[in-house]
Amino acid sequence: MTDSEYKKLYEKDPSEAQTALFNEYLSYVYAIVYNKLRSCGSREDMEECVGDVFSAVFISYDRKGCFDGDMKGFIGTIASRTAIQMYRRLVRSSDTVYIEDENTEIADSQRVERITERSDMRNTLLRLIESLGEPDSDIIIQKYYYNMNSNEIASKHSMSPEAVRMRCSRALKKLKELLTREGYDMKEGNV
């Protein structure tokens, strides 16, 4: 659904326009929310976040703006930001330990060690991705973090989709070499 289609539908019947927008983008928003919250959120948390996303879209959408195009980016940005806020809220509340609670167990050293290792690896991975330089680092981030396809990335970098796929393939090979030099086991499933 484009901005102009939504405006026309909104002028006829605001409720119908919101329903159409919801039906068209529900799966897209749910995928974004699920990817952000799957490690810490329950199904109810995810459903609440999806509701918050559409609420924010309906409230913040400026019907008088000059935006003319696909609304997917606008909705995706709001979904990502809302899910990140929910993730932070869930993680912050789950790390709280009350000493008075008799059933509370303090995290064992193995769990703390695993969390620390994952954090170190994320930092190393981001550092190595940045070392690839532009536009390779952007392509990797957009493809694997923002789940953008080659056509979307190509339009942002004024490249053909084939060129994006080739650069991505080469960048992944370089990244694999860099990670191996850093001491990470690059066998499938061990990254």
Among candidates 153, 1, 157, 7, which has minimal Cα distance to 72? 1
Task: Report pLDDT for 128.
Answer: 84
Whole-prediction pTM? 0.47
Between 191 and 60, name the one with better pLDDT.
60
Residues 32, 79: contact at Cβ < 8 Å?
Answer: yes
Task: Report pLDDT for 49.
Answer: 92
Task: Report pLDDT for 94.
Answer: 63
**Nearest-angstrom CA–CA distance, 75 and 54:** 8
pLDDT digits (tens, 9 = 90+) for 119-137: 777 788 888 888 888 888 8
Evaluate if residue 173 carries a pLDDT over 80. Answer: yes
Domains annotated for the chain, with CATH where assigned, are 3-94 (1.10.1740), 109-181 (1.10.10.10)
pLDDT bracket for residue 189 (50, 70, 90): very low
Q: Any residues with CB less than 8 A from the CB of 184 and at least 6 apart, and which?
A: 121, 124, 190, 191
SS3 sequence of the chain: CEHHHHHHHHHHCHHHHHHHHHHHHHHHHHHHHHHHHCCCCCHHHHHHHHHHHHHHHHHHCCCCCCCCCECHHHHHHHHHHHHHHHHHHHHHHHCCCCCCCCCCCCCCHHHHHHHHHHHHHHHHHHHHHHHCCCCHHHHHHHHHCCCCCHHHHHHHHCCCHHHHHHHHHHHHHHHHHHHHHCCCCCCCCCC
pLDDT digits (tens, 9 = 90+) for 58-109: 887 655 555 556 678 888 888 999 999 888 888 876 654 444 444 444 555 6
Q: Which of 41-55, 67-81, 94-108, 149-163 has the lowest mean pLDDT?
A: 94-108
